[in-house]
Amino acid sequence: MLDELGIAKELQTQTVRTMDKRSKLPRDVFEKTLSDGGLSDKQVKGVCDFLTTKSIVDVTSSFPSLIECSAVVEMQSAIDQLTEM
């Protein structure tokens, strides 16, 4: 997801650390922290959209490269199995 948003490799570790703190920060502080960390407005929006997405379908629609991600495939498979029960 970070690659798809064009976030440089050298910014990714700090971006993930900031993402991990999302629930502890007000949205404006979270966005400013990402921006101060070197992300563009478009990248900040992409991170926020990703973190607020509520379904796998929405995530893969916004980030098509994740369709092949093994974790996403496994989650979708588990959801499909639960739906069939």
Domain positions in the chain: 1-52, 55-85
Per-residue pLDDT of the chain (85 residues; tens, 9 = 90+): 898 899 999 999 999 999 999 999 999 999 999 999 999 999 999 999 888 888 888 888 877 877 777 887 888 888 888 888 8
pTM for this prediction: 0.77
DSSP per residue over 8-76, as a string?
A: -HHHHHHHHHHHHTGGGS-HHHHHHHHHHTT--HHHHHHHHHHHH--SHHHHHHH-GGGGG-HHHHHHH
